[in-house]
Amino acid sequence: MVAEAGELFDATTGKRLWGRGVNAELPIASITKVMTAMVVLSSGDLNRKIRVTRAAVNYALDNSAGSAGLRAGDVLTAWQLLHGMLLPSGADAAYLLAGSYGPGWHKFVRKMNAMAARLGMTHTHFANFDGLPWPTDTSTYSTPRDVVVMGEAAMKNAVFRKIVGERSYRLAATRKHHGYRWANTDLLLRRYRGAIGIKTGFTLAAGYCLLFEARRHGTDLIGVVLDSTNTDTTMRFTAAADLLNWGFARV
């Protein structure tokens, strides 16, 4: 199994099945957006209307980040922006959500860290809302154990679980916004029987990462692989599938 660190957890029984470097503090890239979504969902008001700004569009472009391809001037709801953030890993959507629900990203990030503390994520620090390497490559960090705790908490939310389980999402054009179609970057949903989410991540510092969950025969397994190379985007999915196969054979 190729990964710097990781963990596999039986969410049904609460038993930890496997771990490597479970308390190693590492960058987690766009897995950060799981916490961004949790803060938005905890605030409610998912019908809140948010205008796409040129700054949000430029933010994703200037950082060569994952993008939902948002168009400046469009007005979208928070519900729609959650799809744009979680499926194609849109930094532009994350930028808008953090700005609206902070209000302002500094206040929003404080809310992220407060929620992490409430969940007992004692080896986690969020410096921003999307896991991009600023102010420095290691500003946002977590551990496999903390990431699994976060993932398990997020998947208890029906709205979050529905969104991350979608292979794609189509938003028809209206007078208020252009049309969009967002494909989920989590290829495990297409490749692994029983996969139900949840989030990919990549930066050069973090390598290719994946927080994942699958359900078979009434058992839910949740796990994470961090830094599964920074050269092969498919390796994280292979590593996750190998772990899940190993885990399901033992429960």
Sketch the domain layout of the chain as residue ranges: 5-248
Handedness of CA 135, 207, 79, 150 (dihedral sign): negative
Instruction: Tell which residue, 34, 94, 100, 92, has the closest CA to residue 68.
Output: 92
Question: Confidence class of residue 230 from pLDDT cuts 50, 70 and 90?
Answer: confident
Report the share of the chain in percent with pLDDT over 70.
99
pLDDT for position 127: 96
pLDDT for position 1: 63
**Catalytic residues, which ones?**
30, 33, 89
pLDDT at residue 135 greater than cutoff 80: no
224: left (phi over 0), alpha (psi -120 to 50) or beta: beta
5-248 in CATH: which number? 3.40.710.10
pLDDT tens, residue by residue, 145-192 = 999 999 999 999 999 999 999 999 999 999 999 999 999 999 999 999
Instruction: Give this prediction's pTM.
Output: 0.97
Instruction: Tell which residue, 90, 61, 59, has the closest CA to residue 76.
Output: 90
Average pLDDT score over the chain: 96
